Structure 1
Amino acid sequence: MTNPFENPDGQYYALINDEGQYSLWPSFVQIPEGWSVAQGPASREACLEFIGEVWTDLRPTSLVRAMAG
């Protein structure tokens, strides 16, 4: 059995949670509670590229707010 997160031929979602964190997710697996689709379904490469472009600040949203005062 291969890792479904590493299948170069698979279809994926780029997910986002309430904290502004992203995750790569195989399209055939149920989306976990607290996450929503930000991109996809698309290729693994396309989803990773999307995540790399939009997730430029890795801090959780709650931390960004707390630091802003």
Structure 2
Amino acid sequence: MQVAREKIFQVVQNDELQFSIWRADRALPVGWRGVGFHGSRAQCLEHVNEIWRDMRPLRLQEQMRVSTSQHLATAEGERVMSA
């Protein structure tokens, strides 16, 4: 009788700060790197759920920061001009 061994996964992240899980016994796809957490599929998904707070890709996060900064600067300029 063969005993089923649970597959080990790892948590991975790409350059856009997005997370996923990947089988630990397989080579990582291009553009992804391990973050140091290994475990069962459920453990890895739980870890991703705990650490991934902003699901927007990094480019979008940066665009939104710039847009918000520009909006705030424009609003501040309008407030100063109307005073």
Normalising by structure 2, we get a TM-score of 0.68
Q: Provide the rounded CA distance (Å) in 1 between the counterparts of 2:55 and 2:20.
A: 12
Gaps of 5+ in 2: 1-5, 67-83
Root mean square deviation of aligned Cα: 1.0
For residue 20 of structure 1, what is the amino acid of its counterpart? L
Report if the CA contact (8 A) 1:39-1:47 is conserved.
no
The 1:45–1:39 alpha-carbon spacing in structure 2 relative to 1, beyond 3 Å, is farther
Q: 2:57 aligns with which of 50, 55, 60?
A: 60
2:30 to 33, 40, 47: 33
Structure 1: tracts of 5 or more residues without a match:
1-8
Give the count of matched residue pairs: 61
Q: Which has the larger radius of gyration?
A: 2
The whole-number CA distance in structure 2 between the counterparts of 1:40 and 1:64 is 25
**How far is the alpha carbon of 1:39 from its aligned partner?**
3.3
Whose strand proportion is higher, 1 or 2? Answer: 1
Q: Percent identity?
A: 34
CA distance in 2 between counterparts of 1:18 and 1:40 reads: 17
Structure 1 segment 10-29 matched on structure 2, within 5 A = 10-29=7-26
List structure 1 segments (4+ residues) > 3 angstroms apart after TM superposition. Answer: none
